Structure 1
Amino acid sequence: MSAERPAGDLSGKFDDEDYPAYSMGHAAELLGVRQGFLRSLDAAKLLTPQRSAGGHRRYSRYQLRIAARAHELVAAGTPLEAACRIIILEDQLAEACRINAELQQRDNGPGV
Structure 2
Amino acid sequence: MPPRSTRPADNLDDDDYPAYTMGRAADMLGTTPAFLRALGDHRLITPLRSEGGHRRYSRYQLRIAARARELVDQGTPIEAACRIVILEDQLDEARRINEHLRAQGTEPQPKTSP
TM range (shorter): 0.7 to 0.9
SS in 1 for 2:90: helix
2:31 to 25, 30, 33: 33
| Aligned residue-pair number | 102
Q: Which residue does 1:70 correspond to in 2?
A: 68
Matches of 1:43 and 1:100, distance apart in 2: 32
SS in 1 for 2:56: strand
How far 1:92 sits from its partner (Å)? 0.6
- Letter of the 2:67 partner, please give it: R
Percent of counterpart pairs with the same letter? 62
Does structure 1 residue 86 correspond to structure 2 residue 84? yes
What CA RMSD, in Å, does the superposition of the two structures yield over aligned residues?
Answer: 1.2
How far 1:25 sits from its partner (Å)? 0.3
* TM-score after normalising by structure 2: 0.86
Q: Which runs of 5+ in 2 are unaligned?
A: 107-114
Matches of 1:90 and 1:24, distance apart in 2: 24
* TM-score after normalising by structure 1: 0.88
How far 1:48 sits from its partner (Å)? 0.3
Q: Which runs of 5+ in 1 are unaligned?
A: none
Matches of 1:84 and 1:67, distance apart in 2: 9
SS in 1 for 2:53: coil
- Letter of the 1:43 partner, please give it: D
